[in-house]
Structure 1
Amino acid sequence: MICEEKVLAGNWNQEESISKAEEEYKRLLPNGEKTESNFLYTILDEAKTIGVILLAQLSENRGYIYDINILEEYQGFGYGKEAMKQIENVGKKLGMKKIGLHVFGHNKVARGLYDKLGYQTTNVLMEKEI
């Protein structure tokens, strides 16, 4: 998923996307799921895997959602919204007062969800091909 999004946004080209994604995950999770201050969850519906969500604790009171991915066949059924609510509860239990995330400009569905959940836009990068 991260590969497709980065390619669509023009950050990476298709040929380098897999290796770049692997580098990114190694940087974010150098010890895999045991990386300190990182919380990787599988999103389940009964026994079915629906997706994943990765929350990092950046400081005592700040968290960051590095990834949320709902499998395509389960999108649009409220799993993402519920996962976001649950990860906010996890953050509160860890003492977080704020949680940030990045969303690609072209991902209007995700942007709409985050708006509905009360996330505020803090930065906007724009680009035009000339």
Structure 2
Amino acid sequence: MIALQPMDNKEFKAYLELSINDYASEHVRAGNWTEEEALTNATEQFNMLLPDGENSEGQKLFSIRDDEKEVGMIWLGLKPNNKGFIYDIRIWEDHQGHGYGKQAMQEIEAFGRELGLTSIGLHVFGHNTVARELYKKLGYVETDIVMDKAL
């Protein structure tokens, strides 16, 4: 069984460095940003959402642990009207395929219920079929679909 523990500063700094680069790359892959602008755009978005790092108001960043071993992280943002938004969930590569993602999603939903949230949303890039299937199995439904055609 996994546990969600508030991320400490060391964990946050390691997460931030990895995530900004990955987020920039995902937007380039999705065709949203050019390579030249991606890192700047990603950095700006993270700075806007997390101005005070892991202690930013309305943001809950957790390390996902199996016993004492860190297996990933999950970030829940608190929105108006008792809604939540999962900005990121990551299971570290050497721990993937063991059900940690599913367990973390169930734990963050339980945490959200304790806070009085009525729903939790998330974004997933269209090319991330593994994550899309997991979210569907957990009861998440597509509410908007954006499509693009390269010319």
Normalized against structure 2, the TM-score is what?
0.80
The 8 Å contact of residues 60 and 95 in structure 1, kept in 2 or not, is answered as no
Structure 1 residues 47, 12: CA separation in 2 closer, same or farther (over 3 Å shift)? farther
Structure 1 residues 108, 40: CA separation in 2 closer, same or farther (over 3 Å shift)? same
**Does residue 12 of the first structure (1) align with residue 33 of the second (2)?**
yes
Of the three residues 129, 137, 140, the one matched with 1:116 is: 137
Query: 2:32 corresponds to which letter in structure 1?
Result: N
For residues 23-56 of structure 1, give each alpha carbon's deviation from its aligned partner in whole angstroms, at most 9, with x where no partner exists.
1111111111111111000112222222211101
Match of 2:84 in 1: 63
**Helix, strand or coil for the counterpart of 1:67?**
strand
**Helix, strand or coil for the counterpart of 1:122?**
coil
Q: Over the residues paired in the alignment, what is the CA RMSD in angstroms?
A: 1.4
Counterpart-to-counterpart distance in 1, 2:112 and 2:30: 29
Greater RCO (CA < 8 Å, at least 6 residues apart): 2
Match of 2:105 in 1: 84
Counterpart-to-counterpart distance in 2, 1:72 and 1:3: 19
Cα offset for 1:128? Answer: 0.5
Cα offset for 1:60? Answer: 4.2
Structure 1 residues 7, 74: CA separation in 2 closer, same or farther (over 3 Å shift)? farther
Alignment of 1:24-103 (within 5 A): 24-103=45-124
Counterpart-to-counterpart distance in 2, 1:52 and 1:18: 21
Query: Number of residue pairs matched?
Result: 130
User: More displaced, 113-122 or 76-85?
Assistant: 76-85
Normalized against structure 1, the TM-score is what?
0.92
Structure 1 residues 85, 129: CA separation in 2 closer, same or farther (over 3 Å shift)? same
**Helix, strand or coil for the counterpart of 2:80?**
coil
Give the % identical residues: 50
Match of 1:126 in 2: 147
More helix by share: 2
Cα offset for 1:100? Answer: 0.3
Task: Report runs of 4+ in structure 1 exceeding 6 Å deviation.
Answer: none
Gap runs ≥5 in structure 1 = none
